[in-house]
Amino acid sequence: MTIVKTLAEYQDLNLPESRGFIPTLGALHEGHMSLIEPSLQQNDCTVVSIYLNPTQFNKESDLESYPSTLSEDVEKLKQAHVDVLFLPDYQTVYPDNFAFRVTEENLSHRFCGKFRPGHFDGVLTVVLKLLNIIKPTKAYFGEKDYQQLRLIERMCDALYLSTEIVACPTYREESGLAYSSRNALLPLDLRLNVAPLLYQTLLTNQTLEMKQKALEEMGFEVEYLEEYEGRILAAANLSGVRLIDNVLL
């Protein structure tokens, strides 16, 4: 696996045109690895980026508490036979200091965007920059972050980007809890016994109001629980850790 940190280093690589790309914040888990598998199968070259993007964190405390496991991440990517790891710093990604940014005026203000102002400006801007740097044929995103997935798809359509956005099914722990780097911040008993109840509750044949009441009685602080595009989307805090999930109706 080749590791590059600058735009010039990446541009000097002689990579095939058929490239798959998985952008990440690091703290890699099985959910990330499930995105890498189809890329390896569908492309001549697979590129993964690790960049803890500060512009998508609306709370400094959330950024500071985000897990960082770079050495373990590098080993996982090597074992998965990833071709290139892109490890940029802030100056490489934001030479303009975030003076130019992508803003979406509709979906980004709902759901997660309502509770995390500015979050999707940071997400869309960094994804656009990375797509322009990597120039992938296909880029892979999980359906767990459904709102993010739809915004990225719409951005690529609106800006006429040639990259195909590939949606991948949510990858779950044995308990049903959707894989997330934030899961590591949960106390073990809550991760094993309470956090999975978010997914299980979304699957029940109840009204949205009943689902929300049940989650609150279990100790979740529900931010939103709504229907959208044939799915039920939810975000809830458990012991200060923010969890999101969605299921098909």
Residue at 95 is within a domain: yes
Specify the 3-state DSSP secondary structure of 92: helix
Q: Would you state the pLDDT for residue 59?
A: 87
User: From start to end of the chain, where are the E strands?
Assistant: 2-4, 19-24, 45-50, 84-86, 138-142, 164-168, 221-228, 231-238, 241-248
Q: Confirm if 57 and 120 have CB atoms less than 8 A apart.
A: no
Average pLDDT per block of 10 residues along the chain, 249 residues long: 98 97 97 97 98 94 91 98 98 98 98 96 98 98 98 98 98 97 95 98 97 98 98 97 96
Which long-range CB contacts under 8 A does 93-100 form with residues at least 24 apart?
93/51, 93/53, 93/126, 93/129, 93/130, 94/55, 98/55, 98/125, 100/125
* Tokens of residue 206, six digits: 């109840």
Residues 128 and 185 in one domain: no
The answer to whether residue 173 sits within a structural domain is no
Q: Report yes or no on 39 lying in a domain.
A: yes
Q: Which of 6, 37, 12, 5 is nearest to 22 (CA)?
A: 37
**pLDDT of the residue at 137:** 98
- pLDDT at site 143: 98
The answer on 84 and 188 residing in a single domain is: no
Instruction: Read off the pTM.
Output: 0.96
Long-range contacts of 197-203 (CB under 8 A, 24+ apart): 198/234, 198/236, 198/238, 198/243, 198/245, 199/172, 199/245, 199/247, 200/176, 202/232, 202/234, 202/245, 202/246, 202/247, 203/247
Contacts of 64 (CB under 8 A, 6+ apart): none
Q: Which residues contact 236 (CB under 8 A, 6 or more apart)?
A: 198, 215, 220, 221, 222, 223, 225, 242, 243
Euclidean distance between CA atoms 140 and 28, whole angstroms? 15
Residue 135 sits in the same domain as residue 187: no
For residues 135 and 225, membership in a common domain is answered with no
Residue 223's domain spans which residues? 181-244
138 and 230: one domain? no
The answer to whether position 197 is within a domain reads: yes
Angle, CA of 123, 183 and 104, to the nearest 5°:
15
Q: Is residue 109 located within the same domain as residue 226?
A: no
Catalytic residue, chosen from 32, 81, 109, 119, is 32
Are 105 and 215 in a shared domain? no
pLDDT of residue 64: 92
- Which residue has 């923010």 as its token pair? 242
- Note whether 68 and 154 are same-domain residues: yes
How many structural domains are present in the chain? 2
- The answer as to whether 175 is a domain residue is no
DSSP code for 20: E
29 catalytic per annotation: no
Count the Cβ atoms, other than its own, within 10 Å of residue 59: 11
CATH number for the domain harbouring residue 186? 3.30.1300.10
So what's the pLDDT on residue 171? 97
Strands (E), 14-147: 19-24, 45-50, 84-86, 138-142
